[in-house]
Chain A
């Protein structure tokens, strides 16, 4: 915890120097109104006066023992509280050791927390407009959002569930993050060089999805599957034709790392029976080339309470076993290359009879109404948690292969091979009620969330991980109703161990009353070796409902501090031809009914600062922030026209709109940038016609 990077030491040194500086003085000056303003403003930021007065304060020699004991007494802390505080506190100016990327459910965005402090570091706008980042209020971000429109209909929210960091050799490489939208069947791509969403793709085969995003070990593909089956392409079919017309879809989105984009033309899907697919995981190591989805509603139940059908929650839970889907995607790639696919809605689809015949798709029974399917770090086992079964079921990949080789299988009613359960299972471990998801540490232990028990179960993996395998070790109560859990790099080939976060659905009594909509409760748990698990910290999530999260070592992420060159277009990740690179090159051009503006932003000016157009003119406005200083972001807001951009140092964006409302519109910098930030403005005048 708190491994100080080199930069911290450097900062510490400079701060020490700051303390030795003489008291702040502006020197003798005219005591005029302007002089006072100047003195207060300083050269760049008003905050400096406060910081200087702090720097002057003489520091007392700390007497830790007495002071600490006094605080402990005053705040009525237990020894456990104190050690938890020491394990999670990240001093001012120091960095967290890990970053956690979590979904926000129907909040539609992605959160970035630091661990172990559990501080919220950033909200990444994905499926919903977000004004601070200028996301969806003009500029290229509108195009990103439009990529996810459904048959032309604007969809400005999403139900994010499962973030997936890009991987190399089964380990997070810190380059990209993918996130799904369950509600509308979409995937978004976030570039971790600038932490911005670059692409949203709509799956043209399905409407509702859940089994995504999960990536193959080198991010060859991003996996996504339907949840609630629809006819392929989401076309209409009567519910009574569910068995015949409705279908499942296992999608393999091709990712082009160089371009930083998903390539729909090179992606493909496998048609399945209309079982509802739930979670997924990609094989790695020995199971590389395979992917696993579990399913519910193998009963093929359909709604219709009014027609006298049972409720879906009853109808979908009649069977004791559902089906684990085992997919040979390497083989599927060969089928695509050989042309054994059909094109539906512009998307390549391997029909299920072909998939069954060619050995691409197999089913294995799995107990009952399963949720998580998680591949062990070595890629040798697949752990399935059946939420209505108190066990986790551990399948051996080697045994699955033997069963496939043996060829001794039945089929389901659609002709898909069903491998014998007993031949594929390595172990079943009884953990408790409502097992959902499993993560791993670096000591050969697995951690499974228990929804009904409101607990985390720690259990031991068998050989080759541990000699004392397949045993429950301990259970830790969490508060309350845990869904997903995330251990540090806990789904990769090399888990980092030490920390785990329980994403609890209910917080009930954990926080002060804030009205009837309660925050979710993310709990940091220590999974340090040879110690009992313990809750270290509660972190309220008041802007969405995180489902899955992934936790990555901070140093794996190499984000830009500023854009690499002035005039950078974050959408193309290259210099924009319409960028203005320096002051003096700004200009306005009029061509008939079009007014094109090349503008430059710097502290504390927007140039040009007076734009006059006629009502009905088309306005094309290129804006470049030419700053090279870290954090010198400028906002650009044009009130009345719903335009608000965030232009980070070096960034160029283009906005287009028709000046249809006549009037006088001030525009200004929304991101406090300098002492004269308020003066960073201009007027946009629209003359009525």
Chain B
């Protein structure tokens, strides 16, 4: 929208000063927004897993945040030990440990891109754009790792073939139907990525026009 305003200087009335303002801030605000959304996403769930089985009428829930696990983790761990799966909290320990610093660093990069109107700051902000992809890829890796590193001595180890629960969608493990979906935190990180993308595009186009 901001870029359109820049390209159509023939507008009249109050639109003209508005367009001028947008032209000035159009490559800053998206970065600020991205920084805020990314920061806020730290407090929100990134991924939900619901396990449905006859003897759990309300289902079991596991909620993944960037920094912690929540929900029926103990119960799920208890059930998983029958198939020899590791405890959920043993997954992605490194990622969880560095998540607050990593997200803070990404938010700072976005902030820097907003404050410092340079091409290189915008380019650095591409890390914000790829962050959700990194998260999903890492999650997929851990799901695969957990499903393929079952304790061979577990009670039901011979009844379960290696498997990978879906990152998004519905699967089945034993009598459990596993439903997974993205959480509000991840959606916020995706919005932050899109916002940063707008900022980067505007910055790069602007600098191209200025030469």
Q: Mark A21-48, 1 if CB is under 8 A from B, else 0.
A: 1101111111010110111011111011
A27, A34, A627: which contacts B78 (Cβ < 8 A)? A627
Tell me whether A44 and B79 are in contact in the complex, defined as CB-CB below 8 angstroms, given that A26-B159, A28-B161, A32-B158 are known contacts: yes
Interface size, chain A (Cβ < 8 Å): 39
B169 CB to closest chain A CB (Å) equals 14
Is the C-beta of A17 less than 8 angstroms from some C-beta in chain B?
Answer: yes
Question: Is the CB–CB distance between B55 and A14 below 8 Å?
Answer: no
Is the C-beta of B13 less than 8 angstroms from some C-beta in chain A?
Answer: no
> B91-99, B106-114, B134-142, B173-181: which lies at the A interface?
B173-181
Contacts of A27 in B (CB 8 A): 160-161
Question: Is the CB–CB distance between B57 and A14 below 8 Å?
Answer: yes
Question: Is the CB–CB distance between B83 and A43 below 8 Å?
Answer: yes
Question: Is the CB–CB distance between B53 and A38 below 8 Å?
Answer: no
Is the C-beta of B75 less than 8 angstroms from some C-beta in chain A?
Answer: yes
**Which parts of B43-97 form the interface with A (CB within 8 Å)?**
52-59, 72, 74-75, 78-79, 82-83
Identity of the chain B residue whose Cβ is nearest the Cβ of A605 in the assembled complex: B81
Question: Is the CB–CB distance between A676 and B159 below 8 Å?
Answer: no
Is the C-beta of A200 less than 8 angstroms from some C-beta in chain B?
Answer: no
Question: Is the CB–CB distance between A628 and B176 below 8 Å?
Answer: no
Alpha-carbon separation in the docked complex, A626 to B77 (Å): 13
Question: Is the CB–CB distance between B79 and A14 below 8 Å?
Answer: no
Question: Is the CB–CB distance between A43 and B161 below 8 Å?
Answer: no
Question: Is the CB–CB distance between A38 and B159 below 8 Å?
Answer: yes
Identity of the chain B residue whose Cβ is nearest the Cβ of A25 in the assembled complex: B172
Is the C-beta of A10 less than 8 angstroms from some C-beta in chain B?
Answer: yes
Interface size, chain B (Cβ < 8 Å): 27
Alpha-carbon separation in the docked complex, A455 to B174 (Å): 57
Question: Is the CB–CB distance between A14 and B82 below 8 Å?
Answer: no
Contacts of B56 in A (CB 8 A): 629
Identity of the chain B residue whose Cβ is nearest the Cβ of A39 in the assembled complex: B159
Tell me whether A47 and B75 are in contact in the complex, defined as CB-CB below 8 angstroms, given that A38-B159, A39-B159, A41-B156 are known contacts: no
Is the C-beta of A404 less than 8 angstroms from some C-beta in chain B?
Answer: no
Q: Which applies to chain B's interface (DSSP): helix, strand, loop or mixed?
A: mixed
Alpha-carbon separation in the docked complex, A35 to B157 (Å): 9
A18 CB to closest chain B CB (Å) equals 7
Identity of the chain A residue whose Cβ is nearest the Cβ of B155 in the assembled complex: A676
A119 CB to closest chain B CB (Å) equals 19
Alpha-carbon separation in the docked complex, A17 to B54 (Å): 11
B54, B156, B172, B177: which contacts A38 (Cβ < 8 A)? B156
Question: Is the CB–CB distance between B174 and A43 below 8 Å?
Answer: yes
Alpha-carbon separation in the docked complex, A14 to B74 (Å): 22
Is the C-beta of A597 less than 8 angstroms from some C-beta in chain B?
Answer: no
B87 CB to closest chain A CB (Å) equals 10
Tell me whether A34 and B175 are in contact in the complex, defined as CB-CB below 8 angstroms, given that A44-B53, A48-B54, A676-B82 are known contacts: no
Question: Is the CB–CB distance between B58 and A38 below 8 Å?
Answer: no
Alpha-carbon separation in the docked complex, A212 to B136 (Å): 66
Contacts of B59 in A (CB 8 A): 14
**Which parts of A217-258 form the interface with B (CB within 8 Å)?**
none
Question: Is the CB–CB distance between B174 and A42 below 8 Å?
Answer: yes
Alpha-carbon separation in the docked complex, A26 to B160 (Å): 8
**Which parts of A34-71 form the interface with B (CB within 8 Å)?**
34-35, 37-39, 41-45, 47-48, 51-52
Q: Mark A480-517, 1 if CB is under 8 A from B, else 0.
A: 00000000000000000000000000000000000000
Tell me whether A35 and B176 are in contact in the complex, defined as CB-CB below 8 angstroms, given that A14-B52, A675-B82 are known contacts: no
Contacts of B175 in A (CB 8 A): 24, 42-44, 48, 52
Identity of the chain B residue whose Cβ is nearest the Cβ of A629 in the assembled complex: B75
Contacts of A602 in B (CB 8 A): 78
> Using a CB–CB distance below 8 Å, which chain A residues touch chain B?
10-11, 14-15, 17-18, 21-22, 24-30, 32, 34-35, 37-39, 41-45, 47-48, 51-52, 602-603, 626-629, 674-676
Task: A34-B159, A37-B159 are known; give 7 further A-B pairs, CB within 8 A.
Answer: A10-B58, A38-B156, A43-B83, A43-B156, A43-B174, A51-B54, A602-B78
Residue pairs across A and B with Cβ atoms less than 8 A apart, 17 shown, are A11-B57, A14-B58, A26-B174, A27-B161, A32-B158, A38-B159, A38-B160, A43-B175, A43-B176, A44-B53, A44-B55, A47-B55, A52-B54, A628-B75, A674-B82, A675-B155, A676-B82
